[in-house]
């Protein structure tokens, strides 16, 4: 195995392959940073170009794009409260408050380093133990997806600002939104109100742009009509990179936990980086000594989210290793894995240097910046399905997001419900069908080993806010209502 790994590494360092890796990472960062264009779309765009390449060169380039995009999505998340891809949703929770405090560079450097760390760790795990991990992933069935979704929903306790009931209500609204379109099982057409375009459901990225970006443009640019976005001119400093590195070194447990969460969730087929980043963020808040720092601008929140969403990327390739993958094609396979390891290193370098450039975007006069962002939100919403209805939905969600922010009804749990709804629904309905066929729905849903672990986690997670209130000697009712 080590020989194949070494040969794979040597292959990546061949001039043409390395050039493709650099191009892939840069292209991935750009794609990830553009709201509306996801890493998967970037891969789809470049796949035709790889047809003329050798298998190793093509895979190296695609690996670079994916790793680059997993970092690139943090740039708009930190700067303008808009996740470049759904995987960066949790990055906005602390990244954007950092930018509002004039510390955008801190957020961007933390995102780059945490992304690289998560990717590095996950690739090492993948390179050393891919076969058993792939086998474990096959044990993930409908009940496990259902419980993973329910576990994800317990994150509402963290995301709910002020009132848990309002957070749950927002989550329920998100779940309802997720049911729009054709039912995943059964094929019923639901809540489309005659719009055939809605049969595909509400696009997640459209909801993200609407709920996160447009309200920010309305409240920061248009409501105030100030000359620049931030009151003080942002001047990036070299010392910030050192400061962030030292800070991240002081949180090894958070980094390791976040990367592990990303790796585990990445192995589950179909589970996305958005779930990985949300679960990781939630655990970072839960286990931190000062949980109240989160949501107000701390690099811990950015690191937790970015390490997890980058760590899930290697597993998400769905490499199902048959004997040939690590025997006949071992060099190519390892070249791919090594390319992602090196891409992680490139993200560190490009991200650290880029942190001197990206925050300066906020120094652009508001009259140029605001229309540019509005224009991008519209292009981003439209280009997903080439559908003007998506732009209208984005606009509607933007207005709702603005109003709900004003009413202290934060839309983050709505988006969480929208993300997790399909997992919960498919898991529930498939479990009912499989359980009925097997003789007992309850046994099928509750007695499988991974389900039992997830059920225990759900109970612990749901009860945690009560424990946290008791620990801080606060009144439990205040947070709940």
Partner 1 sequence: MLNADLIIGIVSLVIAVTAWVPTRGLTLLGGVFVDYTLIVLASLSVVIVIKGIAKPEKLRFFESVVERNNILIGLAMLLVYLVFMPKVGFLPASYLMYAAFNWYLSEDRMKTKNIIISVLVSLVVVTGFYLVFRNVLGVPLPKGSWFD
Q: Least CB distance from residue 166 to partner 1, whole Å?
A: 7
Q: Least CB distance from residue 218 to partner 1, whole Å?
A: 6
For residue 60, what are its two tokens? 């190296």
Query: What single string gives the DSSP state of each residue in 207-240?
Result: HHIIIIIHHHIIIIIITT--SBSSSSPP---HHH
Q: CB-wise, 57 or 391, nearer to partner 1?
A: 391
Q: Least CB distance from residue 159 to partner 1, whole Å?
A: 15
**Which residue ranges make up the site for partner 1 (CB under 8 A)?**
37, 45, 165-166, 168-169, 172-173, 175-176, 179, 183, 185-188, 190-191, 193, 218, 221-225, 227, 366-368, 370-372, 374-376, 378-379, 382-383, 386, 388, 391-392, 395, 399, 402, 404, 406-409, 421, 424-425, 428-429, 432-433, 481
Q: Least CB distance from residue 279 to partner 1, whole Å?
A: 21
Q: CB-wise, 309 or 377, nearer to partner 1?
A: 377
Q: CB-wise, 14 or 383, nearer to partner 1?
A: 383
Instruction: Return d(Cα 110, Cα 116) in angstroms, integer.
Output: 10
Q: Least CB distance from residue 18 to partner 1, whole Å?
A: 24
Q: Least CB distance from residue 163 to partner 1, whole Å?
A: 8
Q: CB-wise, 190 or 360, nearer to partner 1?
A: 190
Q: Least CB distance from residue 119 to partner 1, whole Å?
A: 25
For residue 333, what are its two tokens? 């396979």
Q: Least CB distance from residue 361 to partner 1, whole Å?
A: 14
Q: Least CB distance from residue 66 to partner 1, whole Å?
A: 18
Q: CB-wise, 318 or 371, nearer to partner 1?
A: 371
Contact status, residue 384 vs residue 206, Cβ threshold 8 Å? yes
DSSP state of 81: S
Q: Least CB distance from residue 401 to partner 1, whole Å?
A: 13
Q: Least CB distance from residue 169 to partner 1, whole Å?
A: 4
- What values do phi and psi take at 252, rounded to 5? -65, -35
Q: CB-wise, 7 or 399, nearer to partner 1?
A: 399
Alpha helices in 318-411 (DSSP H): 330-354, 366-385, 388-406
Q: CB-wise, 188 or 232, nearer to partner 1?
A: 188
H/E/C letters for each residue in the chain?
CHHHHHHHHHHHCCHHHHHHHHHHHHHHHHHHHCCCCCHHHHHHHHHHHHCCCCHHHHHHHHHHHHHHHHHHCHHHHHHHCCCCCHHHHHHHHHHHHHHHCCCHHHHHHHHHHHHHHHHHHHHHHHHHHHHHHHHHHCCCCHHHHHHHHHHHHCCHHHHCCCCHHHHHHHHHHHHHHHCCEECCCCCCEECCCCCHHHHHCCCHHHHHHHHHHHHHHHHHHHCCCCCECCCCCCCCCHHHHHHHHHHHHCCHHHHHHHHHHHHHHHHCCCCCHHHHHHHHHHHHHHHCCCHHHCCCCCHHHHHHHHHHHHHHHHHHCCCCCCCCCCCCCHHHHHHHHHHHHHHHHHHHHHHHHHCCCHHHHHHCEHHHHHHHHHHHHHHHHHHHHCCHHHHHHHHHHHHHHHHHHHCCCCCHHHHHHHHHHHHHHHHHHHHHHHHHHHCCHHHHHHCCHHHHHHHHHHHHHHHHHHHHHHHCCCCHHHHHC
Q: CB-wise, 278 or 394, nearer to partner 1?
A: 394
Q: CB-wise, 207 or 244, nearer to partner 1?
A: 207
Q: CB-wise, 139 or 406, nearer to partner 1?
A: 406
Q: CB-wise, 248 or 424, nearer to partner 1?
A: 424
């Amino acid at each position: 195995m080590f020989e194949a790994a070494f040969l794979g590494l040597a292959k990546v360092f061949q001039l043409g392959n390395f050039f493709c890796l650099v191009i892939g990472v840069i292209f991935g960062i750009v794609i990830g940073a553009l709201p509306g264009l996801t890493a998967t779309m970037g891969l789809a765009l470049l796949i035709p170009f790889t047809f003329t390449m050798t298998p190793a060169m093509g895979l190296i380039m695609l690996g670079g794009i994916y790793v680059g995009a997993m970092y690139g999505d943090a740039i708009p998340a930190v700067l303008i409260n808009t996740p470049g891809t759904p995987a960066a949703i949790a990055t906005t929770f602390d990244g954007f408050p950092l930018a509002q405090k004039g510390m955008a560079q801190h957020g961007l450097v933390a995102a780059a380093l945490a992304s690289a760390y998560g990717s590095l760790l996950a690739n090492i795990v993948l390179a050393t133990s891919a076969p058993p991990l792939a086998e474990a992933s096959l044990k993930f069935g409908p009940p496990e997806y259902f419980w993973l979704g329910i576990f994800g929903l317990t994150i509402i306790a963290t995301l709910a600002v002020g009132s848990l009931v309002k957070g749950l209500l927002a989550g329920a609204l998100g779940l309802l939104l997720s049911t729009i379109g054709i039912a995943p099982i059964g094929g019923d057409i639901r809540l489309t109100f005659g719009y055939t375009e809605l049969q595909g459901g509400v696009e997640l990225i459209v909801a993200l742009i609407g709920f996160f970006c447009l309200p920010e443009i309305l409240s920061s640019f248009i409501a105030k009509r100030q000359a620049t976005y931030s009151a003080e001119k942002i001047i990036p400093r070299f010392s910030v990179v050192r400061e962030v590195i030292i800070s991240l070194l002081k949180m090894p447990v958070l980094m390791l936990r976040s990367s592990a969460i990303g790796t585990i969730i990445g192995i589950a087929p179909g589970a996305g980086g958005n779930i990985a980043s949300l679960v990781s963020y939630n655990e970072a808040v839960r286990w931190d000594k000062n949980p109240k720092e989160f949501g107000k601008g701390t690099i811990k929140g950015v690191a937790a989210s970015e390490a997890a969403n980058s760590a899930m990327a290697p597993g998400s390739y769905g490499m199902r290793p048959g004997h040939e993958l690590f025997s006949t094609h071992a060099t190519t396979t390892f070249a791919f894995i090594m390319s992602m390891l090196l891409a992680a290193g490139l993200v560190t370098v490009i991200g650290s240097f880029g942190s001197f450039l990206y925050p300066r975007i906020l120094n652009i006069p508001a009259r140029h910046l605001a229309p540019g962002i509005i224009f991008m939100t519209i292009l981003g919403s439209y280009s997903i399905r080439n559908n003007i209805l998506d732009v209208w939905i984005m606009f509607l969600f933007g207005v709702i997001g603005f109003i709900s922010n004003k009413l202290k009804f934060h839309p983050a749990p709505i988006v969480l419900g929208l993300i997790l709804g399909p997992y919960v629904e498919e898991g529930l309905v498939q479990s009912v069908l499989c359980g009925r066929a097997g003789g007992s729905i309850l046994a099928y849903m509750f007695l499988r080993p991974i389900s039992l672990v997830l059920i225990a986690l759900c109970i612990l997670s749901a009860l945690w806010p009560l424990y946290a209130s008791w620990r801080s000697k606060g009144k439990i009712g205040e947070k709940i209502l």
